[in-house]
Amino acid sequence: MIMPNRNNNNRHDQDKLRKMIREGKTAREITAEFHITPYGLLEQLIMLQEIDQKVYIIRGLFNRPEKETQKFRKEGIVFHEEVLEKIGFKPGDTFEMRAIGNRIILEKIKGG
């Protein structure tokens, strides 16, 4: 785990984190390597940015948890049941899709 200002190991951890960021490693890869949570990685990122006076970008750090995202498969977009329930739909409902400008509108045409 990366620890703030404890000893020389901290310097090595910070160097390793910088290197992983430069290599374009994702948040998932970095957290697995350091055995820390995404929140812990965010804390380390903030500390590193303050030390270096630079802004670092880590792909995937600010993404919603995977269970809340929608997936695109060959069959189309797949929504998790929890997402559907929150907006009043059920698994198996059928939709018509319309694209208007930069928006996609799904209109329910048949219940499941």
What's the pTM? 0.50
Q: How many domains does the chain have?
A: 2
Strands (E), the chain: 71-73, 76-78, 94-100, 103-110
Buried b / exposed e along 50-80 (16+ C-beta atoms within 10 A): eeeeeeeebeebeeeeeeeeeeeeeeeeebe
Question: Is position 3 within any domain?
Answer: no
Question: Is position 86 within any domain?
Answer: yes
Question: Is position 89 within any domain?
Answer: yes
Pair 73, 38 in one domain: no
Low-confidence ranges of the chain (pLDDT < 70): 1-11, 64-79, 110-112
Domain holding 33, by residue range, is 8-52
Question: Is position 17 within any domain?
Answer: yes
What per-residue confidence (pLDDT) applies to 21?
94
Q: pLDDT per residue over 41-72, tens digit each?
A: 999 999 999 999 999 999 988 775 555 455 55
Pair 43, 13 in one domain: yes
43 and 50 Cβ atoms separated by less than 8 Å: no
